[in-house]
Structure 1
Amino acid sequence: MTALPLGADPLASLARPPVAAILTLEQVDADVFRGLSHTRARRTYGGQTLGQALVAAGLTVERAHRPHSLHGHFVHPGRSDLPVDYVVDRVRDGGSFTTRHVRAIQRERTVLLATVSFQRDEDGLTHQDMAPTPCPPPEALPRFEDSVAADASDHEWRRLLLSNVGVEFRFPEEYPRLAGRRGTKLPPRQRAWIRTPDRLGDESLVHAAGFTYCSDLFLLSAALPPHGRHIDTPGLKLASLDHTVWLHRTFRADEWHLYEQHGYWMGGGRGISRGHLYDRDGTLVASTAQEGLLRFR
């Protein structure tokens, strides 16, 4: 084994999972598609199951209809060492809207139930009643690996994050998890520039699934800063319960977008966060919401 130079970060060159491969499904039967994790994580990343479910649904829909919403319920945790089969039910084929129900199954156990809706492109009234808070562009910000390199007390959480989730991200402010590790209390808001490290081709369905894959990252943890906690706080059990993605227009998931998140409620062992995705011009291109378990034993 080659020794690292003095002061070198052992995680700086860690490869992220291949998102393009993760979103490439194998058809194993009529309206049944199989996806793989391509990671060594013990549990499946939730965004992977959501993204693969959207691809499976889209493979049964004519291309004139594009996905505009996905509503998913996580039923059981998935295992990354096993494939997941996505069984698609063709609920409705309409002139304007098409609906699919997807059941993600692993060894006869349901891990996700999702409803995906597609719409034919059409013109209409437009407005958006929100705008992102100004911040530096991603090129002016350090890579995530560099921004947290000073936190050398524990490499393991960084290794797990970088090796198990295929998302590139850069924070305009301090990564809130670091404040939580210090016990510092902050407002329930966080934001990051995000994109997939892989180029995803030109198919709009794959880019919609690419953001859906990214959308689960950090979202629920936005409810923790007011409590001075983070997702690895001893005794904390954190799990996504349901997740919604609304896609307002087509965009490329492999290009930088600003993902603002707000953890606006917590109680009864649960928390709810919402997210807004903006392009560089401040145009709102997607919105998300998630409820999850945030329980202390």
Structure 2
Amino acid sequence: MTGIEELLRLERTGETTFRAAGHGRTGADRAFGGAAIAQSLMAAARTVDPDRVVHSLHAYFLRGAEATAPTTFRVEPIRDGGSYTTRSVTTEQGHGVVLRLTASFSVPEDGMEHQVAELDAPSPEDSPGTAEAGAAADGAVRNWFETVSRRHPFEIRFASELPRLAAGRGESAPPRQRLWLRARDPLPDDDLVHACALAYASDILMLSTTLAPHATMIGAPGVSAASLDHAVWFHGPVRADRWFFYDQESPWAAGGRGLGQGRLFDRAGRLVATVVQEGMIRRRPVRS
């Protein structure tokens, strides 16, 4: 497992090009989509005046990426306006383009404020971690709980039963997941690093929410799933090395696709980001 700071360490190879070394365990490892988004956002931000902060990103996953392969990020300056800056990033590996990301940055300013969404969850101290949450499961579900925390540089605690447990029992569940996250390692006092860490975390478990009503899960026999596109709106700074809450739900699925929506709150209840993701979810024949 690679830490957030190491993941975001990009080598500048040109005025608007960057390179990241591979990370992961074996050549067969598939890179996590949130990692590619975080790195692409960092590349974009390194071509922007540091007084401008990211307020949104939109990404399309085009091909699977290998975790151990080096990655090149080609940043295209789209616009540098009086208040807003836009960058497009083409993220490539040896087999082609794996991600296209557009990010927008703005000069911080005062303005009208309101927030409708509220944080309503038990504290992280009162929420089970992966070992406790998966203790009653067996087989593939138990194995998932034992390994998920090792796949990401985040601690995870669950504010309600994960739908994966219901799927393991052959039951459907409401399409909602509620979890606390926190970076495992302390992070520097750099808002950009924390924004990139939040971008990484925004992809954790999101697509699996769409499968909850169908009594199945990602990785189950007969299920094929992959993220197609992902968008994040950043509403304010947050420290990703302190507990933050992620409330995920899926309002729709049809036609081989599912939609996920998420709201991220800091511990004080301030809405710090909104996320939307669409993914491919398909039934496929199970080979005997």
Question: What is the letter of the counterpart of residue 135 of structure 2?
Answer: A
> How far apart, CA to CA, are the structure 1 residues paired with 2:22 and 2:172?
35
> How far apart, CA to CA, are the structure 1 residues paired with 2:135 and 2:210?
25
TM-score (normalizing by structure 1): 0.91
Specify the alignment match of 1:99 in structure 2.
Answer: 86
- Counterpart contact for 2:175–2:250, Cα < 8 Å: yes
Equivalence map 1:115-126=2 (5 Å) = 115-126=102-113
Query: How far apart are 1:232 and its partner, in Å?
Result: 1.7
SS at the partner of 1:202?
A: coil
- Pick one of 132, 146, 158 that aligns with 1:146: 132
Q: Which moved more, 1:286-295 or 1:192-201?
A: 192-201
For this pair of structures, how many residues does the alignment match?
281
- Counterpart contact for 2:18–2:72, Cα < 8 Å: yes
- Counterpart contact for 1:169–1:194, Cα < 8 Å: yes
> How far apart, CA to CA, are the structure 1 residues paired with 2:150 and 2:117?
34
> How far apart, CA to CA, are the structure 2 residues paired with 1:199 and 1:37?
22
Matching of residue 162 in structure 1 with residue 149 in structure 2:
yes
Equivalence map 1:26-41=2 (5 Å) = 26-40=11-25
Equivalence map 1:182-221=2 (5 Å) = 182-221=169-208
> How far apart, CA to CA, are the structure 1 residues paired with 2:22 and 2:203?
15
Query: How far apart are 1:45 and its partner, in Å?
Result: 0.2
Question: What is the letter of the counterpart of residue 82 of structure 2?
Answer: G
TM-score (normalizing by structure 2): 0.93
Query: How far apart are 1:36 and its partner, in Å?
Result: 3.4
Specify the alignment match of 2:263 in structure 1.
Answer: 276
How many percent of aligned residue pairs carry the same amino acid?
A: 42
> How far apart, CA to CA, are the structure 1 residues paired with 2:20 and 2:162?
31
Specify the alignment match of 2:99 in structure 1.
Answer: 112
Query: How far apart are 1:181 and its partner, in Å?
Result: 1.3
Query: How far apart are 1:37 and its partner, in Å?
Result: 4.5
Query: How far apart are 1:149 and its partner, in Å?
Result: 3.0
> How far apart, CA to CA, are the structure 2 residues paired with 1:172 and 1:186?
15
Q: Structure 2, unaligned stretches of length 5 or more?
A: none
Matching of residue 62 in structure 1 with residue 49 in structure 2:
yes
Q: Which moved more, 1:239-248 or 1:18-27?
A: 18-27
SS at the partner of 1:211?
A: helix
SS at the partner of 1:56?
A: helix
Specify the alignment match of 2:37 in structure 1.
Answer: 50
Matching of residue 135 in structure 1 with residue 121 in structure 2:
yes
Specify the alignment match of 1:25 in structure 2.
Answer: 10
SS at the partner of 2:18?
A: strand
- Counterpart contact for 1:40–1:164, Cα < 8 Å: no
Q: Which moved more, 1:54-63 or 1:161-170?
A: 161-170
Q: Which moved more, 1:287-296 or 1:166-175?
A: 166-175
- Counterpart contact for 1:188–1:224, Cα < 8 Å: yes
Per-residue CA distance 1:50-89 (angstroms, 9 max, x = gap): 0000000000111110000000000000011101111000
Query: How far apart are 1:253 and its partner, in Å?
Result: 1.2
- Counterpart contact for 1:40–1:81, Cα < 8 Å: yes
- Pick one of 54, 60, 65 that aligns with 1:73: 60
Query: How far apart are 1:174 and its partner, in Å?
Result: 1.5
> How far apart, CA to CA, are the structure 2 residues paired with 1:203 and 1:36?
22
- Counterpart contact for 1:74–1:241, Cα < 8 Å: yes
Q: Structure 1, unaligned stretches of length 5 or more?
A: 1-15
SS at the partner of 1:54?
A: helix
Specify the alignment match of 2:211 in structure 1.
Answer: 224
Question: What is the letter of the counterpart of residue 11 of structure 2?
Answer: E
